[in-house]
A and B are shown apart, each in its own frame.
Chain A
Amino acid sequence: MKGLLLKDFYMAAKYCKAVLLLVIVFLAASFLGEENIFFAVYPSMIAGIIPMTILSYEERDKWIQYSAALPYTKAQVVSSKYLLGLLFWAAAFLVSMAATAFRMIGNNSFSMDTFLVMGTALLILGLIGPTFLLPFVFKFGAEKGRIAFYVMIGFVCAVITLLTGLGFQAILPFSKPVLIGICGIGILLYILSWQLSILFFKKREL
């Protein structure tokens, strides 16, 4: 699997330069600007979808078929994308959290509760993309997966608008056990999505 990951890094370095630049700009904005959760969360969200970008290039170049001629199992091909997603997300997560902590300390407004809420939001919103999209991409291919991506974005926006309208923030209990529970569910869904993608990809004909 080392070979697959190395190839993914080469491809990410080539095709995701713009994404990396965006991450830096948004991190700088979140560090320098006022408290705006969007600037802090966005880098994790886009870092999480790097595997989908690479998969669409791989489909175009017929790597998906070629990888089946190499000594890799389909489970390894899928796992390399989930691991890659985790690595990029983790890097964005750590940098975002560090930037948030520095900004809060710099503003004399550091609060552990807010910091943990931010961490939970970064985890959930960073993993939500690959969790829901990768099984679609591995089952139907990158083209149809992209349609699923737009549907998902629309759905998430609709849900957030609806919850905001209902005064969701006021009733949300931000206690530590709840936050840990939310993180646990996020990680569990990521693992379930991983297994589902392996199942779909094993059945897919290349």
Chain B
Amino acid sequence: MNALEIRNLTKTYTGFRLDHLNLTLPSGCIMGLIGENGAGKSTTIKLILDMIHKDEGSIQIMGKDNTKNIQLLKEDIGVVLDDVGIPECLTAKQVGKIMQYTFQRWDSKLYNSYLQKLSLPTEKPFKEFSRGMKMKLGIAVALSHHPKLLILDEATSGLDPVVRDEVVEMFSEFTRDENHSVLISSHIVSDLEKLCDYIAFLHKGKLLLCEEKDRLLEQYGLVQCSKEQLLKLAPSAVKGKKISPYGVQALVLRKYIPANMVISPISIEDLFIFMVKESV
């Protein structure tokens, strides 16, 4: 069963349209939703959680329509939003008590162990937490009711590298169970590159691609050449190019490139930038 299936999802605002989005997240996988600010990542997540109303399309979470019995579905979903959303006056201890009455499978012991592991104070109000601590508390809450699907909206942005690494490790640990899946959005591509099995590129409300990360890295590469050499390549081989006085850097599909040309590996971040800014 797929953890998430999105078909023809459309949502229009003045000046923005999420346009017929199709995504499938298989169970046991981590999908990174990459896009610049305003690309439609948060809109997609809000639509999945039924926080906003779609104009068109369908969303299935673990085989069930997300608009029907969403209350029961959310027992299986752990969510961390960009702003976390915990009231500033509450302490971690109070949050634990509230969630105990919120989730049927709330595990107080597990929650307390996360608080300890993440060095989070139990009696300090949320407003006195740093950005990293706030995010860590959001993650502890999201993981303490034994969810099957984690939905994370910019959960790693604004964190220092040490905390980011800790958080990324927690998500990796979560997906060691093959029934657990993660959808994580970010504009910090390097985080997702470490973590994800699947990568989806969103740009101005449109899905540029959705593919297994390893396949993307196998399929695409970078070629450094002259303008003349570039012209000799098949047009279908070149997916993006950056021309400078020193030559051309081109994003290419490896399979169409002659064997005598040197192709360097490309990072997901560079792939995204080429596709968005330098596409042909």
Q: Do A and B bind each other?
A: yes
Contacts from A to B (Cβ < 8 Å): 2-4, 6-7, 10-11, 14-15, 57-58, 60-63, 65-73, 205-206
- Whether the Cβ atoms of B86 and A205 lie closer than 8 Å is no
A7 to B96, CA, bound (A): 11
Q: A3-B102, A71-B72 are in contact. Are A14 and B77 (CB under 8 A)?
A: no
A165 to B161, CA, bound (A): 70
A interface, over-half SS: helix
Q: A68-B51, A71-B72, A206-B52 are in contact. Are A10 and B98 (CB under 8 A)?
A: yes
Q: A69-B49, A72-B71, A206-B51 are in contact. Are A62 and B81 (CB under 8 A)?
A: yes
Q: Is B131 an interface residue (CB 8 A)?
A: no
Number of A-B contacts (CB under 8 A): 84
Closest-by-CB residue of A relative to B102 is: A3
B151: chain A residues within 8 A (beta carbon): 69
A63: chain B residues within 8 A (beta carbon): 85-87
Q: Is B94 an interface residue (CB 8 A)?
A: yes
Q: How far is the CB of A67 from chain B (nearest CB, A)?
A: 8
Give the residues from 87 to 137 in chain B that come closer than 8 angstroms, CB to CB, to chain A. Answer: 87-90, 94, 97-104
A15: chain B residues within 8 A (beta carbon): 89
B52: chain A residues within 8 A (beta carbon): 205-206
Q: A71-B74, A71-B102 are in contact. Are A62 and B85 (CB under 8 A)?
A: yes
- Whether the Cβ atoms of B71 and A6 lie closer than 8 Å is no
Give the residues from 28 to 78 in chain B that come closer than 8 angstroms, CB to CB, to chain A. Answer: 46, 49-53, 70-72, 74-75, 77
A57 to B208, CA, bound (A): 39
A65: chain B residues within 8 A (beta carbon): 51, 81, 83, 85
Q: Is B163 an interface residue (CB 8 A)?
A: no
A69: chain B residues within 8 A (beta carbon): 49, 51, 74, 77, 79, 81, 85, 151
Q: Is B276 an interface residue (CB 8 A)?
A: no
Q: Is B84 an interface residue (CB 8 A)?
A: yes
B71: chain A residues within 8 A (beta carbon): 71-73
A33 to B44, CA, bound (A): 60
Pull 18 A–B residue pairs with CB atoms less than 8 Å apart, ordered by A.
A4-B102, A10-B89, A10-B98, A11-B90, A15-B89, A62-B81, A65-B85, A66-B79, A66-B83, A67-B85, A68-B50, A69-B49, A69-B74, A69-B77, A70-B102, A71-B104, A206-B46, A206-B52
- Whether the Cβ atoms of B98 and A3 lie closer than 8 Å is yes
A49 to B74, CA, bound (A): 31
Q: A61-B88, A65-B81 are in contact. Are A2 and B51 (CB under 8 A)?
A: no
A73 to B101, CA, bound (A): 14
A67: chain B residues within 8 A (beta carbon): 85
A6: chain B residues within 8 A (beta carbon): 97-98, 101
B86: chain A residues within 8 A (beta carbon): 61, 63, 66
A205 to B85, CA, bound (A): 16
Closest-by-CB residue of B relative to A205 is: B52
Closest 8 CB pairs of A and B: A66-B85, A69-B79, A3-B101, A3-B102, A2-B101, A14-B89, A71-B74, A205-B52
A10 to B88, CA, bound (A): 11
A66 to B83, CA, bound (A): 9
A2 to B104, CA, bound (A): 12
